[in-house]
Structure formats: C-alpha cells, structure tokens
C-alpha cells in the first residue's frame, strides 16, 4: 500500500489550466505528486461524437465516473453504456476506448496508479476559456495529429491499437 506522505491537497479547479484533448475539454485536477503516485484525477467534458481510438495502457487502469450525460465504454469487443451516477472501470493491459453517448457529458477519469495524467498536457492544446464554456465540435483528427498522438502516448506506456470501435454518433 502506498504511504501518502505529501499531506492534504486542496485544488481550486477554477485556476486549473483547460486543455483541448482530442476535442474533449479536460483539466488535471490532481496529479501523482499529490498522492505519492497512488492515483490522479482528470475532469473531462465532451460533445456527442467525441471518442478515443482503441488503445492499451501498460500499467494504468482508468475509472470513468459519469457526472452528467452518458459515455459508452468498449473493452476487448464488449460495449457498455454508463450514464450519470454510474462508473466504468477499464483495467490495465486491456484494449479499450470510450465515447460520449449523449449530447454532452461531464466525467472524472481516475487513473491508477498515477503517471498517465501527464499525457494530457503533453498531447493536448491549452485553450483560453472556462472549463464550463463552449465545447469543441468533434471531428476526425488529421493523419498527422493521429501520428503525433500515438507517438506521445507511447512515451507514457500506452499503445494506440486502432481507430475507434464506434460507428457514427446517433443524435
């Protein structure tokens, strides 16, 4: 068990930088330095059509805690819809992806152990707007952006294994 020696942490989310990460707005609320590497917490928002490619994390599990809207998680061929008040846990070393399955969604991503939270600022684009502001319009990324995402992800022990497993969004 990890010994938390860093002490309590207070986060003022309103002062946390906002990033556009594959058309999701996100902000890293709590990094591994504050938890002795036990976990990190990222807050995300997205519009219908936002999705990730299929990918595998070598060490981290991701748990999505849906606050508003709905997400569809996919793990090794099986899909599951999770709505506000529910969560979805995707273990390490399992191919997975997720997408927004409602007009908009807001959720926390709990990453255990920490480390992968640094991927978001390394591959996202800082935006000068409020987190609760207008959402980016999702669309397919250009091929050079996909290549860059894969390159950055690999540096964090994450391998992109293919395109999203989802069809076009249903309005």
Domain tally, the chain = 1
Report whether pLDDT(171) > 70.
no
Does a structural domain hold residue 134? no
Asked whether the predicted pLDDT for residue 54 surpasses 90, the reply is yes
Calculate mean pLDDT across residues 42-64: 96
Residue 167 lies in a domain: no
CA nearest 160: which of 149, 144, 145? 149
Is 0.85 surpassed by the pTM of this model? yes
% of the chain exceeding 90 in pLDDT:
85
Does 34 fall in a domain? yes
Beta strand spans in 4-155 (E): 18-21, 24-30, 40-47, 54-57, 61-68, 70-75, 78-83, 87-90, 96-100, 104-112, 125-127
In a domain, 4, yes or no: no
Q: Which domain holds residue 95?
A: 18-129+139-162
Q: How many CB atoms lie within 10 A of CB 52?
A: 18
Helix, strand, coil shares, percent, the chain, to 5: 15, 40, 45
Q: Is the dihedral of CA 10, 11, 14, 15 positive or negative?
A: positive
Q: What is the CATH number of the domain that holds 144?
A: 2.60.120.10
In-domain check, residue 171: no
């Amino acid at each position: 068990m990890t010994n938390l020696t860093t002490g309590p942490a207070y986060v003022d989310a309103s002062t946390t930088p906002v990033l556009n990460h594959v058309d999701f707005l996100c902000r890293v609320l709590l990094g591994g330095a504050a938890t002795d590497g036990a976990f990190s917490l990222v807050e995300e928002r997205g519009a219908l059509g936002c999705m990730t490619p299929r990918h595998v994390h070598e060490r981290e599990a991701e748990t999505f805690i849906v606050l508003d809207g709905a997400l569809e998680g996919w793990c090794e061929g099986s899909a599951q819809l999770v709505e506000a008040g529910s969560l979805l846990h995707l273990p390490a070393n399992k191919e997975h992806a997720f997408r927004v399955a409602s007009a908009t969604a807001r959720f926390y991503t709990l990453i255990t152990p920490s480390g992968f939270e640094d991927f978001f600022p390394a591959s996202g684009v800082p935006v000068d707007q409020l987190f609760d502001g207008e959402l980016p319009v999702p669309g397919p990324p250009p091929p050079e952006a996909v290549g860059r995402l894969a390159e950055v992800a690999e540096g964090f022990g994450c391998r992109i294994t293919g395109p999203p497993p989802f069809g076009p969004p249903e309005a």
